[in-house]
């Protein structure tokens, strides 16, 4: 299976989707325990949720599971949130802190490097190429990194997560105008709760690519999954919830598209 699927458009907006895939090679699947094979921490239905909201947007979608290797982690293995619970480049525990591997089956350094080359690097090569393609067309680009997560995960954060979790790594990865428009739209969405640079400030993708001074703007949106789906297996997509959410996501993306176009 190709590690990445690309839909090329000509909008200045790119949708990054690093965590919606579920592919794990057959020869590796036996190393995972039952929890690992459930892949509970997938950004379930993320491609479906965003499909068609911004018709001319480029989409860069990882097809592999984040349990194989996490495309939104620093390839060096450094933690994104020092001192806080998180998961590794090649996760060994799930978002509840439970092992996802059979005993003595966790990947060693050689296996991690193989996965980095075959999956992580392939995804980011594709993403980098699309960023440069769009920047050549418009002179600037906005990478909107699409994520979702269960709303209650005590291993990672206290209490219940807000619905819209925007991350710009403390206003360093995009122009202030982009951040302001994004938060305004999310704050004005009826029935939803927003936060800016809360528990999720933007992962490695946001921090690595976000160079507004060079015309590359990046913002991450981590959605609470209860806004559009069941947060337990079999992770069912809810058409009515999703339809309501998609109205707001469409407004958000189209407003951001106009904002990136209008930047001077």
Cα separation of 145 and 59, whole Å? 10
CATH architecture of 4-262: 3-Layer(aba) Sandwich (3.40)
- State the pLDDT at residue 77: 85
Cα separation of 45 and 199, whole Å? 22
Tokens of 262: 């209008």
What are the pLDDT digits (tens) for 23-82? 999 999 999 999 999 999 999 999 999 999 999 999 999 999 999 999 999 999 887 777
φ and ψ of 86, to 5 deg: -155, -175
Cα separation of 252 and 77, whole Å? 33
Q: Calculate ∠ Cα 77-78-80, nearest 5°.
A: 120
Cα separation of 47 and 21, whole Å? 9
Cα separation of 19 and 145, whole Å? 10
Tokens of 23: 């592919």
Give the closest residue to 100 by CA, choosing from 148, 66, 74. Answer: 66
Q: The pTM is what?
A: 0.96
- Tokens 């390839």 belong to residue: 75
Q: Is 255 helix (H, G, I), strand (E, B) or coil?
A: helix
Cα separation of 246 and 189, whole Å? 11
Give the closest residue to 28 by CA, choosing from 20, 19, 18, 37. Answer: 37
Cα separation of 190 and 223, whole Å? 15
- State the pLDDT at residue 41: 98
In the chain, where the domains are located: 4-262
Residue 257: other Cβ atoms inside 10 A? 18
Q: What Rg value do the Cα atoms of the chain yield, rounded? A: 18
Cα separation of 15 and 8, whole Å? 10
Q: Is 14 helix (H, G, I), strand (E, B) or coil?
A: strand
Give the closest residue to 124 by CA, choosing from 14, 46, 18. Answer: 18
- State the pLDDT at residue 79: 76
- State the pLDDT at residue 264: 66
Torsion sign (Cα): 126, 75, 39, 244: negative
For the chain, the straight-line distance linking the first and the last C-alpha, in angstroms and rounded, comes to: 41
- State the pLDDT at residue 78: 83
**DSSP alpha helix (H) spans, 59-141:** 109-115, 121-138
pLDDT mean by block of 10 residues, the chain; 264 residues = 96 98 96 97 98 97 98 90 86 97 96 98 98 97 98 96 98 97 98 97 97 98 98 98 98 98 88
């Amino acid at each position: 299976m190709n590690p990445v699927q690309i839909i090329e458009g000509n909008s200045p907006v790119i949708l990054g989707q690093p965590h919606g895939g579920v592919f794990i090679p057959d020869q590796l699947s036996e190393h995972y325990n039952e929890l690992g094979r459930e892949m509970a921490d997938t950004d379930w239905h993320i491609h479906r949720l965003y499909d068609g909201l911004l018709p001319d947007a480029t989409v860069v979608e990882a097809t592999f599971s984040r349990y194989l290797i996490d495309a939104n982690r620093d390839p060096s293995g450094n933690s994104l949130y020092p001192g806080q619970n998180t998961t590794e480049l090649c996760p060994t525990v799930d978002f509840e802190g439970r092992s996802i591997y059979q005993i003595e089956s966790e990947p060693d350094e050689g296996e991690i490097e193989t996965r980095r080359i075959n999956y992580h690097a392939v995804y980011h090569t594709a993403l980098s190429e699309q960023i440069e393609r769009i920047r050549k067309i418009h002179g600037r680009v906005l990478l909107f990194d699409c994520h979702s997560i269960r709303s209650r995960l005590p291993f990672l954060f206290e209490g219940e997560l807000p619905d819209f979790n925007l991350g710009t790594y403390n206003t360093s990865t995009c122009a202030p105008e982009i951040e302001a428009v994004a938060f305004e739209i999310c704050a004005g969405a009826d029935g939803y709760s927003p936060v800016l640079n809360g528990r999720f400030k933007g992962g490695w993708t946001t921090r690595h690519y976000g160079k507004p001074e060079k015309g590359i703007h990046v913002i991450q949106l981590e959605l609470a999954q209860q806004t559009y789906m069941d947060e337990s297996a079999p992770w069912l997509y809810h058409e009515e919830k999703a339809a309501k959410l998609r109205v707001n996501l469409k407004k958000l993306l189209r407003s951001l598209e106009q904002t990136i176009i209008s930047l001077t």
